[in-house]
Amino acid sequence: MTLSENDLWLLSYYRSSEINGALFFGRVARTLRGGPLQANVTHHFADEANHAKYWTRCIEDLGHPATKLSGSYQDQYLEAVGLPANLMEVMAVTQVFEKRVIAQYRRHLRAGDTHPRVRQTIETIMEDERWHVKYVRDALEEMAGRYGQEYIDSTLARFTAADEEVYAKTLAEYGERITFLSGPDQPFEDPFAEGAP
């Protein structure tokens, strides 16, 4: 199969975002003291690097080299909300971003003409993404005593509003490349929430 220019761009965009995620979590992992959170963030760093590898291989398997892109979705976060001020904000922005990633990949899976190789890559990555949401949610719950639940909730709300702005901007800028995303956004469903299937 030959990928269309738009499909190649989108898969390369996913790859670029995963690389940026790996670089971010690598920096965070270096700053943390030993313990469960350090281990989880280091695991997260490795997952993001692997996801970039999976996208590289997927694109190559479909007969192309990945397109070199100058920016990623995360770059726009920094413009919208700035650098996180503390570890709780790192976890909060991670929670919001990981939910967006899952929603994006679910949208891609719902597209009727998703190539089986692309579908396989997304499904593999989604296994890790669900764990990312769980460990970050657990970390935020543990931080409530230190930061206060109200501060955590307001931080999550601020980052969620920024994410919605960034996503709308991305659709406006690249909409012709990702027409299958033009349908209504689906709310994130936490697979680890009580009562989830």
Task: Grade residue 181 by pLDDT with cuts at 50, 70 and 90.
Answer: low
Q: What is the pLDDT of residue 1?
A: 59
How much of the chain exceeds pLDDT 70, in percent? 89
Kindly compute the dihedral angle of the four CA atoms of residues 73, 171, 180, 11, in this order, to the nearest 10 degrees.
-30
Kindly compute the dihedral angle of the four CA atoms of residues 71, 77, 79, 80, in this order, to the nearest 10 degrees.
150
Q: What is the pTM of this model?
A: 0.86
Between residues 2 and 7, which one has the greater pLDDT? 7
Q: Which residues of 130-169 are buried (b: 16+ CB within 10 A; e: fewer)?
A: ebbbbbbbebbeebeeebeeebbeebbebbbebbeebbee
Give me the domain span that covers residue 59: 5-68+85-177
**Predicted confidence (pLDDT) per residue in 55-73, tens digit:** 999 999 999 999 998 777 7
Average model confidence (pLDDT) across the chain: 87
Q: What is the CATH number of the domain that holds 19?
A: 1.20.1260.10
Into how many domains does the chain fold?
1
Residue 192 lies in a domain: no
Task: Grade residue 37 by pLDDT with cuts at 50, 70 and 90.
Answer: very high
Residue 167 lies in a domain: yes
174, pLDDT greater than 90: no
User: In the predicted model, what is the mean pLDDT of residues 137-165?
Assistant: 96
184, pLDDT greater than 90: no
22, pLDDT greater than 80: yes
